[in-house]
A and B are shown apart, each in its own frame.
Chain A
């Protein structure tokens, strides 16, 4: 019976690679696997989804998994973002993993979720053991592998293959494998029931009628509507100013790709946190380390550039 896993993450976190680690691990064990991502213009922090299907025979499916057996959420902030649609097709029989410092019970109390919930704070584990933020793909892939019942050794081998494919050095790969297997062993398992039924009722088709090109053309005339699209949820880290270190050079202002840094009269940056996507370019560029990356939500200052 087919097993289906849907991964949700943010661009740069490694949801796509996690889906490939799971696919490769299943393939190593002799299953037929299929993995595929969907994403738009490649942007760090933007919602990304990826899909892995595992079966003993040929897979006659493609693309989106509407009702997965297991949903793997690599970034808890996505749950609040309706555009990310992480809860689509989730019901009582769906297993849900969330990368969160909260326990399943704490998370349920905060955000009621259908499904059999389990959590692990992969980000903190990665920060503590790998020494920096960024991709947690091996950890996410390992957790998914454990939950769907794949063997430890095949997950370890799949991590090596996929991370080597990304050009990681052997020492980095080994470190990732070790930490990922630790996550494999510590995640609290929940039953993952294979073969979640997919919706197959016949579609009610609509034939749109002609509309004037004012509406019927891919045209946006609402001025400055990007302000309405807040992207604060894209951040894992936020840039925070340490005012007495700032020399007022304006480099952060110049480098910000989203124009969310404005300069105050005292030559100090003011960051629009409603739209900052947390790319950390300002943190990297700041010559005096006056901007530091601070983990969102529960975290303290966890990582500094340079």
Chain B
């Protein structure tokens, strides 16, 4: 087997190393810590020329990251879950400065109750921050996406920061073969960072993110960020082509799996998409015409690619590994919205909520998803949000509740 065994976290660290970043402000949080530990080690040994600084919080970390990027440095940083939320305020400033750094988020479900394992409420809380978002399925994709992220972020047509997301545990601590791109190829793919609007020169002072009152300039600048994010669709296409040419691997904004003649399509993101693909294979072997659409780029929202992949299907199921209390699955809403004007929109849209807090997504649950989706397609009536949570799991839950409430003499 080509490549070497590597966790998702180490792949993320290698992404930063190969991108030859200048500055890494860091703060540890499970399950991200391994990333900054690896980078600290490399900076200490001289394997990397970057300046590594431990910060007092994620809020300071993002502030330092944005400020450094605003001086024209190439910046990498990483966090997870509560850390991302603590930094959230700063995310909006960094994107408003149009400071194109790369932030890796290792998804971990949010407290309370507190846990360590993944779902996507953390990264989706940053959905509207102006950071672009790439969600990776494999350790290889983590590394490759970081390189693509810098190329896209630093493009003059975009100049927005990017979050590359990987699932805690399922990728962060999971080893699998990763092929390291050749450093010369990376250099060809990723030209030096020379932003026209950023930099630090005493002879040429400038102010970023200045106060703008009355709403008119604010509207203009926020809309510019929207245009920049939309430009990232085209820039991603170019970056994907260049990356494929140099490295031989291809990543598009969405990935279709066995879609060609599929009646029903399951929409997923991140690491569990691997299990979704396996479930498609099982169903296909049983003669069911199903496929999978994996959303890789969430911001910008690849509406055209999604419409193209989902139009004319009998039924579409969106498996959200997140929950907006009082609403349901976050990505389901966005899929539904972008299909509304489609003349050939699917007869049924189904919403499933699964893998919350890293709960296993079993083969049985995925089979049930396909069965219920097929039935919804036949009926022409969507369902959901349906929680993927089994009877057996609930029996365990009841036992825990009994333990938690039993009064001992």
Q: Is A40 an interface residue (CB 8 A)?
A: yes
Q: How many residues of B contact A (CB 8 A)?
A: 27
- 0/1 interface trace, chain A 13-40, chain B, CB 8 Å (1 if under): 0000000000000000000000000001
Contact A219 B208, CB 8 Å, known A209-B227, A213-B98, A213-B195: yes
Whether A210 lies near B98 (C-beta < 8 A) is no
Q: Is B325 an interface residue (CB 8 A)?
A: no
Whether A40 lies near B213 (C-beta < 8 A) is yes
Q: Please measure, in the bound complex, the distance between the C-alpha atom of A208 and the C-alpha atom of B217, giving whole angstroms.
A: 12
Q: Please measure, in the bound complex, the distance between the C-alpha atom of A208 and the C-alpha atom of B218, giving whole angstroms.
A: 13
Q: Is A212 an interface residue (CB 8 A)?
A: yes
Q: Is A200 an interface residue (CB 8 A)?
A: no
Whether B196 lies near A218 (C-beta < 8 A) is no
Please give, as numbers and ranges, the residues of chain B lying within 8 Å of A228 by CB-CB distance.
Answer: none
Q: Is B157 an interface residue (CB 8 A)?
A: yes
Contact A219 B205, CB 8 Å, known A209-B227, A213-B195: no
Please give, as numbers and ranges, the residues of chain B lying within 8 Å of A57 by CB-CB distance.
Answer: none
- 0/1 interface trace, chain A 204-236, chain B, CB 8 Å (1 if under): 000011111110111111010000000000000
Supply 24 A–B pairs (Cβ within 8 Å), ascending by A: A208-B223, A210-B157, A210-B227, A210-B231, A212-B197, A213-B228, A214-B196, A214-B197, A217-B98, A217-B159, A217-B197, A218-B96, A218-B208, A218-B210, A218-B212, A219-B206, A219-B208, A219-B210, A220-B207, A220-B210, A221-B204, A221-B206, A221-B207, A223-B205
Please give, as numbers and ranges, the residues of chain B lying within 8 Å of A41 by CB-CB distance.
Answer: 211
Can you name the residue of chain B whose Cβ is closest to the Cβ of A210? Answer: B227
Extra contacts, 5 of them, besides A212-B156, A214-B197 (Cβ < 8 A), are A212-B197, A213-B195, A217-B97, A218-B210, A220-B207
**Among A208, A220, A221, A223, which residue has its beta carbon within 8 angstroms of that of B224?**
A208
Contact A212 B223, CB 8 Å, known A40-B211, A218-B208: no
Please give, as numbers and ranges, the residues of chain B lying within 8 Å of A221 by CB-CB distance.
Answer: 204-207
Q: What 3 pairs across the A-B complex have the smallest Cβ distances?
A: A221-B206, A216-B224, A213-B197
Contact A220 B206, CB 8 Å, known A41-B211, A212-B197: yes
| Chain B positions 211-233 with a Cβ under 8 Å from a chain A Cβ | 211-213, 217, 220-221, 223-224, 227-228, 231
Whether B196 lies near A213 (C-beta < 8 A) is yes
Please give, as numbers and ranges, the residues of chain A lying within 8 Å of B157 by CB-CB distance.
Answer: 210
Query: Separation in Å of the A116 CB from the closest CB of chain B?
Result: 29
- 0/1 interface trace, chain B 358-380, chain A, CB 8 Å (1 if under): 00000000000000000000000
Please give, as numbers and ranges, the residues of chain A lying within 8 Å of B206 by CB-CB distance.
Answer: 219-221
Q: Please measure, in the bound complex, the distance between the C-alpha atom of A38 and the C-alpha atom of B223, giving whole angstroms.
A: 23
Please give, as numbers and ranges, the residues of chain B lying within 8 Å of A218 by CB-CB distance.
Answer: 96, 208-210, 212, 217, 221
Q: Please measure, in the bound complex, the distance between the C-alpha atom of A216 and the C-alpha atom of B211, giving whole angstroms.
A: 15
Whether A213 lies near B221 (C-beta < 8 A) is no
Can you name the residue of chain A whose Cβ is closest to the Cβ of B221? Answer: A218
Contact A217 B211, CB 8 Å, known A210-B157, A210-B231, A212-B197: no
Can you name the residue of chain A whose Cβ is closest to the Cβ of B208? Answer: A219
Q: Please measure, in the bound complex, the distance between the C-alpha atom of A221 and the C-alpha atom of B195, giving whole angstroms.
A: 14
Q: Please measure, in the bound complex, the distance between the C-alpha atom of A219 and the C-alpha atom of B195, giving whole angstroms.
A: 14
| Chain B positions 78-114 with a Cβ under 8 Å from a chain A Cβ | 96-98
Can you name the residue of chain A whose Cβ is closest to the Cβ of B97? Answer: A217
Q: Please measure, in the bound complex, the distance between the C-alpha atom of A221 and the C-alpha atom of B220, giving whole angstroms.
A: 18
Q: Please measure, in the bound complex, the distance between the C-alpha atom of A212 and the C-alpha atom of B98, giving whole angstroms.
A: 10
| Chain B positions 175-224 with a Cβ under 8 Å from a chain A Cβ | 195-197, 204-213, 217, 220-221, 223-224
Whether B98 lies near A208 (C-beta < 8 A) is no
Most buried by B among A41, A212, A218: A218
Can you name the residue of chain B whose Cβ is closest to the Cβ of A222? Answer: B206
Query: Separation in Å of the A201 CB from the closest CB of chain B?
Result: 19
| Chain B positions 303-351 with a Cβ under 8 Å from a chain A Cβ | none
Please give, as numbers and ranges, the residues of chain A lying within 8 Å of B217 by CB-CB distance.
Answer: 218
**Among A40, A208, A209, A212, which residue has its beta carbon within 8 angstroms of that of B196?**
A212
Q: Please measure, in the bound complex, the distance between the C-alpha atom of A111 and the C-alpha atom of B213, giving whole angstroms.
A: 29
Query: Separation in Å of the B208 CB from the closest CB of chain A?
Result: 5
**Among B195, B207, B209, B221, which residue has its beta carbon within 8 angstroms of that of A216?**
B221
Q: Please measure, in the bound complex, the distance between the C-alpha atom of A283 and the C-alpha atom of B252, giving whole angstroms.
A: 67
Please give, as numbers and ranges, the residues of chain A lying within 8 Å of B227 by CB-CB distance.
Answer: 208-210, 216
Query: Separation in Å of the A272 CB from the closest CB of chain B?
Result: 21
Query: Separation in Å of the A228 CB from the closest CB of chain B?
Result: 15
Query: Separation in Å of the A3 CB from the closest CB of chain B?
Result: 25
Please give, as numbers and ranges, the residues of chain A lying within 8 Å of B221 by CB-CB distance.
Answer: 216-218
Q: Please measure, in the bound complex, the distance between the C-alpha atom of A220 and the C-alpha atom of B97, giving whole angstroms.
A: 12
Can you name the residue of chain A whose Cβ is closest to the Cβ of B159? Answer: A213
Query: Separation in Å of the A6 CB from the closest CB of chain B?
Result: 16
Query: Separation in Å of the B233 CB from the closest CB of chain A?
Result: 13
Q: Please measure, in the bound complex, the distance between the C-alpha atom of A221 and the C-alpha atom of B200, giving whole angstroms.
A: 12
Q: Please measure, in the bound complex, the distance between the C-alpha atom of A144 and the C-alpha atom of B254, giving whole angstroms.
A: 63
Please give, as numbers and ranges, the residues of chain A lying within 8 Å of B156 by CB-CB distance.
Answer: 212-213
Please give, as numbers and ranges, the residues of chain A lying within 8 Å of B223 by CB-CB distance.
Answer: 208
Whether B204 lies near A210 (C-beta < 8 A) is no
Please give, as numbers and ranges, the residues of chain B lying within 8 Å of A208 by CB-CB distance.
Answer: 220, 223-224, 227
Q: Please measure, in the bound complex, the distance between the C-alpha atom of A148 and the C-alpha atom of B195, giving whole angstroms.
A: 57
Most buried by A among B196, B205, B207, B224: B224
Q: Please measure, in the bound complex, the distance between the C-alpha atom of A220 and the C-alpha atom of B98, giving whole angstroms.
A: 14
Please give, as numbers and ranges, the residues of chain B lying within 8 Å of A209 by CB-CB distance.
Answer: 227
Query: Separation in Å of the B77 CB from the closest CB of chain A?
Result: 21
Query: Separation in Å of the B87 CB from the closest CB of chain A?
Result: 21
Q: Please measure, in the bound complex, the distance between the C-alpha atom of A224 and the C-alpha atom of B189, giving whole angstroms.
A: 40
**Among A40, A210, A219, which residue has its beta carbon within 8 angstroms of that of B197?**
A219
Q: Please measure, in the bound complex, the distance between the C-alpha atom of A41 and the C-alpha atom of B210, giving whole angstroms.
A: 12
Contact A210 B210, CB 8 Å, known A217-B98, A218-B96, A218-B217: no
Can you name the residue of chain B whose Cβ is closest to the Cβ of A224? Answer: B205
